[in-house]
Amino acid sequence: MGILPGLLFFLLSVHSVNTLKCYICSSTVSNEYCNSNSDDCQAPLDTCMTTVSISGDMKAIVKQCSDSQLCTGAASSVSLDDNGDGTVVTCCSSRLCNYSAAPTIQLCTWLLTLPMCLLTILIKQAD
């Protein structure tokens, strides 16, 4: 094999090894179902994005490849109410990193609830 074809083969094989792979599903209630489907992300998609919408006992999970700026923007607009209903978006960028969204949702709920509790305590002490 010549140098040029060998170099081309090497570059193509390196690209396929470094391709981001994410779990993929659209509007399912089961994280296990989402984790049974994965796909390679095509450039310029460089982030695994998970969106979980919660309304009472109902939950919808969407996992997909995304652009990092789009995912980060969506994740910054997290909106959960006092009952834990709303939408949470998480972003990650390593191979099959979007395996589970449940711990993230619990963490986001705590991060949103904690400041509200502290604010309530401060207001009650001021009265």
Q: What is the CATH number of the domain that holds 94?
A: 2.10.60.10
**What gap in Å lies between CA 41 and CA 22, rounded to an integer?**
7
Residue 20 carries which side chain, given as an amino acid letter? L
Q: Is residue 22 part of a domain?
A: yes
pLDDT, residue 22, reads: 96
- The band of 116, judged by pLDDT with boundaries at 50, 70 and 90, is low
At residue 84, the pLDDT reads: 84
Q: Is the pLDDT of residue 106 over 70?
A: no
Query: Using one digit for the tens of pLDDT, what is the confidence trace for 62-102?
Result: 999 999 999 999 999 878 888 889 999 999 999 999 987 54
Domain-located, residue 43: yes
Residue 1 is assigned to a structural domain of this protein? no
Domain count, the chain: 1
In a domain, 74, yes or no: yes
Instruction: State what percent of residues in the chain have pLDDT above 70.
Output: 69
**Spatial distance between the Cα atoms of 127 and 121, rounded to a whole number of angstroms:** 10
Q: How confident is the model at residue 61 (pLDDT cuts 50, 70, 90)?
A: very high
Q: Which residues of 48-64 are buried (b: 16+ CB within 10 A; e: fewer)?
A: bbbbbebeeeebebbbb
Q: What is the pLDDT of residue 78?
A: 77
Domain that holds residue 27: 18-126
Confirm whether 40 is domain-assigned: yes
| 102 within some domain | yes
